[in-house]
Chains A and B, each alone.
Chain A
């Protein structure tokens, strides 16, 4: 379309970053929100590489996606917000899914 490769990569990465940032604020599941914040950090690390800043990219990738995600996830567990799916909420939900599928008689 007339844009060179670096601009294309930058455009796609910025779109990914902004979409993940919106997901962080919108998702109900807190594990998903923490994962989306890790995606934001990784996208920003790629942008740092495009901006010719390798030290900063390494730090952002290690700290943002690694350490920050671990600290937030540890906090989630201790705060009681650790839910993998929505079927454990409330008392009125259907019975939990049985493992092994419904194919068996």
Chain B
């Protein structure tokens, strides 16, 4: 009965979305704001990547909101997980990874760092930006933790980087507020389109966003990986989904 109701619900949801989508006119977007932004962005912001221009220039405050949501999620996860970090056993719970992973991690770390910073700093020229580069930076630091779990990562350093990057973002916005009257307005002139040092403060904002996101996600993943597995906490293994609990016990 529950399955039938769920199937009807999903079918009804699908039908509703299909009706809405059928009236949207695929291939001719209405572009109420998009057209104006496409024509005005190269002159006003000076960035070649229009998505970054909108993300950091026209709608910078939405990016600030997203950074605060990420901060809230990471802090809440840290609060939830703090009670579980066991005693000395947690660092030794995972054996150090094999030779391939350790060597690969040592080789990959500078490459990932370079690619991450490249994508962050060129966010206003090519597809990329703060978020993509920040995720790659987080992966770079986490690969080291995966290879040597006993080494761990200093949570203080991560917190300091994250705090400074977030404060830097807000400080740039406040500076443009005091100097120009608009919070988070791109300053420092437009520059030549296509150069690395163009589009005003947009590379600086990208850098702040990238460092903050990278530090946050790296810290979050390290906190998750420091939780002890259930063998050490004395818990029974969580069972499978109950549709198949009858399987292993009744066979053989």
Question: Is there a contact between chains A and B in the complex with CB atoms less than 8 Å apart?
Answer: yes
Whether the pair B135, A66 counts as a contact (CB closer than 8 A) is: yes
- Which of B38-46, B162-170, B219-227 lies at the binding interface? B219-227
Cβ–Cβ < 8 Å partners of A19 in chain B: none
Please, how many residues of chain B have a CB less than 8 angstroms from a CB on the other chain? 36
- Kindly provide the distance from the CB of A33 to the nearest chain B CB, expressed in whole angstroms: 10
Interface of A, secondary structure class, is helix
Whether the pair A77, B229 counts as a contact (CB closer than 8 A) is: yes
A80 to B49, CA, bound (A): 45
Cβ–Cβ < 8 Å partners of B207 in chain A: none
- Kindly provide the distance from the CB of B219 to the nearest chain A CB, expressed in whole angstroms: 12
Whether the pair A58, B139 counts as a contact (CB closer than 8 A) is: no
- Kindly provide the distance from the CB of A68 to the nearest chain B CB, expressed in whole angstroms: 10
| Given known A89-B240, A90-B248, A92-B249, contact A55–B132 (CB-CB < 8 A) | yes
Whether the pair A28, B49 counts as a contact (CB closer than 8 A) is: no
Whether the pair B221, A92 counts as a contact (CB closer than 8 A) is: no
Q: Hey, what's the 0/1 contact readout for B209-252 against A, CB within 8 Å counting as 1?
A: 00000000100110011011111000111101100100111011
Q: Hey, what's the 0/1 contact readout for A55-88 against B, CB within 8 Å counting as 1?
A: 1011100110011001100110111110000100
Q: Within 8 Å of chain B (Cβ to Cβ): is A3? A: no
Q: Within 8 Å of chain B (Cβ to Cβ): is A94? A: yes
A71 to B86, CA, bound (A): 19
Whether the pair B229, A80 counts as a contact (CB closer than 8 A) is: yes
Which listed residue (B224, B241, B247) contacts A74, Cβ 8 A? B224
B residues 126-153 touching A (CB-CB < 8 Å): 127-129, 131-132, 135-136, 138-139, 142
22 contacts between A and B (CB under 8 A): A62-B135, A62-B139, A63-B135, A67-B135, A67-B138, A67-B139, A67-B217, A67-B221, A70-B142, A71-B220, A71-B221, A74-B224, A78-B224, A78-B228, A79-B238, A80-B230, A80-B231, A81-B237, A86-B248, A90-B249, A91-B249, A94-B252
CB-CB nearest 9 A-B residue pairs:
A90-B248, A54-B127, A80-B237, A80-B230, A89-B248, A62-B135, A74-B224, A78-B227, A92-B252
